[in-house]
Amino acid sequence: MPVNNGDNKYTILPGEPLPFGATVQNEGVNFAVLSRHAISVTLLLFNDADKYVPKAELVLDPYLNKTGDVWHIRVDGIGEGTFYLYKVDGPYDPEKGHRFNRYKVLLDPFAKAITSTGHWDLDKARGYDWDSPEKDLSFSEYDDIMDMPKSIVISDNFDWQGDRPLNFPLRHSIIYETHVAGLTRDKSSGVKHRGTYKGVTELIPYFKDLGITSLEFLPIMEFDQDSVSRINPMTDEHLENYWGYDPISFFAPKGNYSSSGNNGEQVREFKEMVRELHKEGIEVILDVVFNHTGEGSELGPTISFRGWDNQIYYILSDDKRFYMNYSGCGNTLNCNHPIVRSLIRSCLHYWVIEMHVDGFRFDLGSILGRDQEGNLMENPPILEGIAEDPVLRNTKIIAEAWDAGGAYQVGSFPGGRWAEWNDKFRDDVRRFWRGDKGMVHNLATRLTGSSDLYLRDGRKPFHSINFVTSHDGFTLYDLVSYNTKHNEANGEDNRDGADNNISFNHGKEGVSHNRKIIALRKRQVKNFHATLMLSLGTPMILGGDEILRTQGGNNNAYCQNNTVSWYDWNLKKENSENYTFLKKLIKFRQRHPAFHRPEFYLGKDSNFNNIPDITWYDRFGNIPDWEKIGHCLAYRLDGTEADIDSDKDDNDFYLMFNGSIKDHSFTICPPPEGTHWFMSINTALPEGEDIPLFGNEKMIDEQTIYTVKAKSVVVLISREK
């Protein structure tokens, strides 16, 4: 049916129910959206991103434009770059979970891009106040449009130049967690396109030099960065949603992170970033938030899902006017409803197939294991579905195995092949180096892949994502510089953020000019780096820890889009010793398969050389009494290919950890026949000596006693003279 709307001429066809979203087809665009309980759907088309009066309003006919629960229409005469919104009418009955409002415009849940000025005003999109819902019905016809972003029609055409996701095995991966914008936002980054996807691309030589294999980005799915209403009481600066853990559009990359425009150009720039990273052998992993949306509680804005079918998309309380809040953010996505399960998997497919990402880290992943009443399930369909999905088979899937509702599933996350953020590794390693008593046995377990967590269900050491720091908490240098959090700038009277940080300031809170304190702090940073890289499992570094980035003791900088969070790249020169140490440490790990073997240790000899794959010692060279071992630990690794599950022999290693405040002598076991021990790592030595170049290590003569300085790690390697 032809439609003439002023200067705009369209041909309207019934359209098809699949695929969902807006799909460019030859001479037009097919639109398909799902709403089971809607009685009317209207498609609004716009000429420009900033227009609030639509150029066309197309009312969908339930007879012609609906198949099952799917509303659809095809519009010929438009194409990529078209801006659009919807209006959806249906029952407003909060007590039954329905919150339809014909006056509110809605985003397409499957939109591949949305307009992003970075300064939305969603006050008029606020949800009904359940005590007086009639107040929202006073809006004029177009009041709501000017305050909302718009969905954008996107074509999937792109010259990938033969690129495919890299999909490195987890055990060979070294993950670098970072914020896309904060990475280069500061002038000190020296890049041309600061705070953007292209800025990340400009830093590729840096990532290559450091040696990481994978970038894990904090959320890049579109969110409202103005959703934080507080003021920094110290500067009067308006605070922002910097981290982005409040998604409003799961398919759309953040427009503000694009240097080339944010009216659809962000999709191309994201793809270009991925393509260029892949050319240099660097993966892209996305931190994804499928546990809640930015629509918040019943008093939050109606942007998309609430207005399409509130009862389907969210877990509601017994009084369906309210939302279950296992996320701590006002609502909980109904992840195991069949429709939401399909949405999530379609979204993952899109990011893998069309955007070429290599993996996902699932924020508050335990929520994906809750049923439609909020109860934890033994075999959650969505988690099993993701793990067994044929398209995602080689894609990394990493769970944050807990949620804000009390679920804690580290070591028992359901669904098969999932890897997990291992916070037990974080906490036990922090406690050991802080000097807590009785932590040596725990350290030994974490160094060897956390078999207590992952062995019983058939998972491997690499399913443990080992980390000491992450975006959520202290940076590594703050971990050794502060006893308590200092979050006053967040405007919450320092109540936000974790109180139990297992940190230690080593003599003075915060900045110190005492050389001994500074030296000890930097040695402790080396100890954490060494422990992370020498442990079985998949190491994850918090971006900026390699240059000793600080947030001034703020352990919850989610709202600090400023120099608190931005990387100060001047620190790279100032702290070159730490950067160089970590760079060499990464090369050491990658060179030696003994430190990323795929199986847990057995404590047995697999190649009949009378040396077990791992042998534990106390500092006297005896079998340890784990109850009396103190703060020191040593162990020997047999590097023969049978004992490390490799296709070639490695060296043997003798590792010594001194977590005490005193120097201690360690008795060293003999090296393999015909070889000698050489010092390959010593965190107590200065730059250049702490990790000698491969082949230039200093031989430990024939001595059987080696003094390990207080708070340090020493690694000996066996080889011929």
The arithmetic mean of pLDDT across residues 69-73, rounded, is 98
Domain that holds residue 249: 170-593
Beta strands in 160-301 (DSSP E): 175-178, 214-217, 221-223, 247-253, 283-288
Share of the chain above pLDDT 90, in %: 88
Residue 115 confidence (pLDDT) above 50: yes
Residue 143: pLDDT band (50, 70, 90) is: low
Q: Exposed, middle or buried: residue 205 (CB in 10 Å: 0-12, 13-18, 19+)?
A: exposed
User: Active site includes 652?
Assistant: no
Same domain for 559 and 681, yes or no, is no
| Span of 280-289, 644-653, 667-676 with lowest mean pLDDT | 644-653
* Predicted confidence (pLDDT) per residue in 293-315, tens digit: 999 999 999 999 999 999 999 99
Residue 132: pLDDT band (50, 70, 90) is: very low
pLDDT of residue 496: 97
Q: Which residues, 6+ apart, have CB-to-CB distance to 528 below 8 Å? A: 429, 433, 468, 476, 479
Report the candidate in 314, 310, 305 with the shortest Cα–Cα distance to residue 334. 314
Same domain for 610 and 583, yes or no, is no
124 in helix, strand or coil? helix
Same domain for 423 and 322, yes or no, is yes
- Rounded-to-integer distance, Cα 22 and Cα 30, Å: 6
Decide if 510 is inside a domain.
Answer: yes
Decide if 216 is inside a domain.
Answer: yes
SS (H, E, C) 370-405: ECCCCCECCCCHHHHHHHHCCCCCCCEEEECCECCC
Residue 106 in tokens: 């809605």
Beta strands in 458-613 (DSSP E): 464-466, 538-542
Residue 106: pLDDT band (50, 70, 90) is: very high
The arithmetic mean of pLDDT across residues 491-504, rounded, is 97
Dihedral (Cα; 510, 513, 514, 515), 10-degree rounding:
120
What's at 499, amino acid-wise? Answer: D
Residue 404 in tokens: 């804000």
CATH number of the domain at 28, please.
2.60.40.10
Q: What angle do CA 636, 640, 641 make, to 5 degrees?
A: 130
Same domain for 480 and 610, yes or no, is no
The arithmetic mean of pLDDT across residues 230-236, rounded, is 94
The domain boundary, picked from 593, 614, 633, lies at 593
Decide if 340 is inside a domain.
Answer: yes
Decide if 162 is inside a domain.
Answer: no
Cβ 33 vs Cβ 110: under 8 Å: yes
CB atoms within 10 A of CB 338: 12
If one counts the domains in the chain, the total is: 3
- Rounded-to-integer distance, Cα 74 and Cα 23, Å: 9
* Predicted confidence (pLDDT) per residue in 521-548, tens digit: 999 999 999 999 999 999 999 999 999 9
CATH number of the domain at 513, please.
3.20.20.80
CB atoms within 10 A of CB 689: 11
Cβ 127 vs Cβ 301: under 8 Å: yes
Residue 503 confidence (pLDDT) above 90: yes
Considering the candidates 186, 363, 545, 638, report the single residue annotated as catalytic: 363
Residue 125 confidence (pLDDT) above 50: yes
Residue 695: pLDDT band (50, 70, 90) is: confident
Instruction: Work out the mean pLDDT of the chain and round it to a whole number.
Output: 94
Cβ 653 vs Cβ 594: under 8 Å: yes
Same domain for 261 and 334, yes or no, is yes
Decide if 163 is inside a domain.
Answer: no
Residue 322's region, left for phi above 0, alpha for psi from -120 to 50, else beta, is: beta
Between 513 and 145, the higher pLDDT residue: 513
Helices and strands, number each (H, E), in the chain: 15, 31
Same domain for 309 and 441, yes or no, is yes
Same domain for 330 and 242, yes or no, is yes
* Predicted confidence (pLDDT) per residue in 4-44, tens digit: 555 567 899 999 999 999 999 989 999 999 999 999 999 99
Residue 131: pLDDT band (50, 70, 90) is: very low
User: Active site includes 457?
Assistant: no
Same domain for 467 and 569, yes or no, is yes
| HSE-CB of 355 using CA atoms within 13 angstroms | 30
CATH number of the domain at 615, please.
2.60.40.1180
**pTM for the predicted model, two decimal places:** 0.96
Same domain for 214 and 337, yes or no, is yes
Instruction: Provide DSSP, 516-548.
Output: HHHHHHHHHHHHHHHHHHHSSSEEEEETTGGGT
* Predicted confidence (pLDDT) per residue in 557-603, tens digit: 999 999 999 999 999 999 999 999 999 999 999 999 999 999 999 99
* Predicted confidence (pLDDT) per residue in 336-351, tens digit: 999 999 999 999 999 9
Residue 1: pLDDT band (50, 70, 90) is: low
Same domain for 198 and 310, yes or no, is yes
The arithmetic mean of pLDDT across residues 195-224, rounded, is 98
The distance from CA 434 to its chain's CA centroid, rounded to whole angstroms, is 27
pLDDT of residue 421: 98
Residue 142: pLDDT band (50, 70, 90) is: low
User: From the CA atom positions of the chain, what is the Rg in Å?
Assistant: 28
Considering the candidates 400, 478, 643, 690, report the single residue annotated as catalytic: 400
Residue 496 in tokens: 């936000």
Same domain for 134 and 217, yes or no, is no
Same domain for 348 and 209, yes or no, is yes
Q: Would you give the DSSP letter of residue 433?
A: H
Residue 133: pLDDT band (50, 70, 90) is: very low
